[in-house]
Amino acid sequence: MKILMINGTMQKGSTYTIGKMFIERTASEEDSVKELFLPKDMPEFCRGCAVCIRQDEKKCPDYLIYMRRITEMIDEADLLVFTSPVLVYHVSGQMKALLDHYGYRWMVHRPDASMFRKQAVCITTAAGAGMKKALRDMTDSLRYWGVARIYTYGVAVGGGIDDTNREKIETAVHNLAEKIEHDASKVTPGLRVRILFYIMRFMQKRTGTTETDKNYWEEKGWLGRNRPWK
C-alpha cells in the first residue's frame, strides 16, 4: 500500500503526532510512506482564474512547479492521510489553498478515476473546539473528489498530548487503523459516492458543465457503461 500524508502546517505538533501514530499502526513493512508539508510543498494561493476548470489543469500557473508533483503523489497513493490543526475553527489556510487548487477535480467537473479506489483519513486537533468544521473542510473535498472511503478523527487536546489524554488518543487511533483495508483491490466506493457520481453523470448527460468537462466524461466512457471504480 502506498501512503501519502499531507500536513496542513509545518509544525510537528499534536496533529502530526497523531497522524504518525496512525500511520505506524497502519503501515506494514512493504508499504511506502511519503509526507508533504504545507506551505513548503505548495506555497501558492489559488488565483480563482478558473483556467483549470474551463480549459486544462496543466495551465494552472502553479502546475509546473508545485501541482504536477503533488498530483502525481496523490494519484499513486492508496491511502491519503490529511492532517491539519484547527485554526480559527477551520483547517489551516495553506490546506485550504491546496484544496482550492483541486476544484477542477470535483465530481461535477473532472474527478480522477483513481479516487474511487482510494481510502482517506482526515485528522485534526484543537485546543478546545472546531474539530467538526475543520474535518468537514477536508472531507468535503475528498468526498467530491470521489474518494471511496473516508475516515476522520478530531480531538481537543488542550495544551497538547500528555498523560491525561494519551491513552484515549491511542485507543481512537487503534480503532481508526482497524478500519483500513490493506488489500487495495478490495476498496470500492460506498453508496454515497456512487449516488453522487450518478447525479453528476446525469448532469453531464443533460447539459454538461464546460466543454472540457463533457469531453472528459465522454472520453472516460462514464456517460456510457464504464464506471471509474471498475
Ligand X SMILES: Cc1cc2nc3c(=O)[nH]c(=O)nc-3n(C[C@H](O)[C@H](O)[C@H](O)COP(=O)(O)O)c2cc1C
Please identify, using beta-carbon distances, which residue of 43 and 221 lies nearer to ligand X.
43
Min separation Cβ 166 and ligand X, Å: 14
Distances (CA, A) of 227 to 75, 112, 117: 17, 11, 11
Is 14 among the residues that bind ligand X (CB under 6 A)?
yes
Beta-carbon count within 10 A of 226 CB: 12
How many residues line the site for ligand X (CB under 6 A)? 18
79 in Cβ contact with 180 (< 8 Å):
yes
50 lines the binding site for ligand X (CB under 6 A): no
**Using alpha carbons only, how large is the chain's radius of gyration in Å?**
18
Check if the beta carbon of residue 102 is closer than 8 Å to that of residue 63: no
Residue 209 in contact with ligand X, rule: CB under 6 A: no
Q: Give min distance, CB of 26 to ligand X, in A.
A: 19
Task: Quickly tell me which residue has 475553527 as its cell.
Answer: 89
Binding mask 81-110 for ligand X (x = CB under 6 A): ----xxxxx---------------------
Minimum CB distance to ligand X, residue 126 (Å): 3
Please say whether the beta carbons of 145 and 228 come within 8 A. no
The set of residues, in sequence order, having a beta carbon less than 8 Å from that of 84 and lying 6+ positions away, is 7, 8, 9, 15, 91, 92, 95, 123, 124, 134, 137, 138
Binding mask of the shown chain, residues 130 to 149, with x at each position contacting ligand X by CB under 6 A: x-------------------
**Per-residue x/- marks for ligand X, 160-199, CB under 6 A?**
----------------------------------------
Q: How far is the CB of 16 from ligand X (least distance, A)?
A: 6
CA distance 210 to 170: 46
Q: How far is the CB of 42 from ligand X (least distance, A)?
A: 18
Binding of residue 204 to ligand X (CB under 6 A) = no
Beta carbon of residue 168, minimum distance to ligand X (angstroms, whole number): 14
Q: Does 153 bind ligand X (CB under 6 A)?
A: no
The region, left, alpha or beta by phi > 0 then psi within -120 to 50, assigned to residue 118 is: beta
- Is position 122 an interface residue for ligand X (rule: CB under 6 A)? no
Return d(Cα 146, Cα 120) in angstroms, integer: 11
The single residue among 2, 10, 13, 188 that binds ligand X, judged by CB under 6 A, is 13
- Give the integer Cα–Cα distance in Å for 139 and 121: 9
User: Which residues are at the interface with ligand X (CB under 6 A)?
Assistant: 9, 11, 13-16, 85-89, 125-130, 157
